[in-house]
Structure 1
Amino acid sequence: MTTEAYARPLPQSAAITPAAAARRLLAKHWDGRLPVVPEQIATAEGLRVERLGLFEDYEFSGEFLKSQRLIYVNEREPMVRQRFTLAHELGHYALGHENSPRDTSAEFSSRTGDPKERAANQFAAELLMPAEAVAKLVQSGRFGSVDELAKAFNVSKVAMTYRINNLGLLV
């Protein structure tokens, strides 16, 4: 897969939706290979990523500190969760949000009522599971299950299930 296949620059007049913001970062920093590596994108944007929790008492999933250009991720959580957390916090940055102090698992739920948290979740879904890439792989027939797709994108089965449903795709 190549970047050109999935990341197209948006016209200047386009509104910046969470998905559009993710596509812009993908166009700038993604080489088109799966899985997308959010830490590389964050670093390329000049953000520091620090993992906490192994030796510190850090009870949150992640945090974005705008003034410090810093993203914290809880390294005690499963790797697929850390990847989504990092993409979510990168979403706060890309969407111009102020500090996002200490996101918990509730903020990563599709049921969160906070519009900024929902937007960061939408950003993370597009960043980690770009719609065009997911659609192309589903339509190719090479992946016969949600589990196989989740492994290809290095996301949880739950995240991939939501993504496929939100994109109106069948596996």
Structure 2
Amino acid sequence: MEEIDEWDEIEEAEQAEELGTRALAIQPEVRAAYCRKIAQRILKDHKITKPPVPVDKIARAVGFNLQLQDLPVGVDARLQVINSRLLMELARSQAEVRHRFSIAHELGHYFLGHKHNEYNAGETEADIFAGELLVPRAWLRKDVERYSIAELLSRYKVSREVLYSRSSTLYRR
């Protein structure tokens, strides 16, 4: 496998910003690069340089109140606006690694500007954002040679599914 040319990805992300949200829906690979770039920008803006990423602090910093709730089966998290307050409800029944992914995913909807009626189209984008926010590709490239799988899971505080998904992106776009 050939390693990704980072300049190509930067160029795609810049194109994504120029095209705007509607045009990007037609070009999923460009939109994916844009989602990753926004996640990287959030890390930079919050001066986060190593794992685990404090997604709860990011959420609170942008105005979310986080609450554990007994949510319906199949609902891991949801966003609500109550009296002009942003509320992120997390399923009490889920593990910490799932809470972390859910927070990152919901932040993806927020930072990518998804509207409630656009969520179906935005689910993949929010997942891409969450993956890059929790396990940035640049960090994982360095860490994958140094740490065992168990150590990576502990270091990033993510599930195996998230770690495997992120690992699969190391050498492809």
> Does TM, scored on the shorter chain, surpass 0.5?
yes
1:34-73 alpha-carbon deviations (Å, 9 max, x no partner): 20011101111122222212xxx54310112366422111
Does residue 134 (structure 1) correspond to residue 151 (structure 2)? The answer is no
Q: 1:164 aligns with which of 162, 167, 170?
A: 167
TM-score after normalising by structure 1? 0.73
Does residue 62 (structure 1) correspond to residue 77 (structure 2)? The answer is yes
Hey, what's the Cα distance between the residues in 1 that align with 2:158 and 2:87? 23
**1:64 alignment partner AA:** L
- RMSD, aligned CA: 2.6
Does residue 143 (structure 1) correspond to residue 147 (structure 2)? The answer is yes
**2:91 alignment partner AA:** N
Aligned to 2:90: 73
* Larger Cα-atom Rg: 2
Q: 1:25 aligns with which of 27, 42, 53?
A: 42
Hey, what's the Cα distance between the residues in 2 that align with 1:116 and 1:158? 20
**1:117 alignment partner AA:** E
The percentage of counterpart residues that share the same residue type is 31
**2:79 alignment partner AA:** F
- 1:97 CA drift (Å): 1.1
Hey, what's the Cα distance between the residues in 1 that align with 2:80 and 2:35? 19
Hey, what's the Cα distance between the residues in 2 that align with 1:122 and 1:27? 17
- 1:160 CA drift (Å): 0.3
Does residue 84 (structure 1) correspond to residue 88 (structure 2)? The answer is no
TM-score after normalising by structure 2? 0.72
Aligned to 1:111: none
Structure 2, unpaired ranges of 5+: 1-9, 18-33
Does residue 50 (structure 1) correspond to residue 67 (structure 2)? The answer is yes
Contact 1:19 1:122 in 2 (8 A): yes
**1:91 alignment partner AA:** G
SS of the aligned residue for 1:43 comes to: helix
Aligned to 2:26: none
Report how many residues are paired: 142
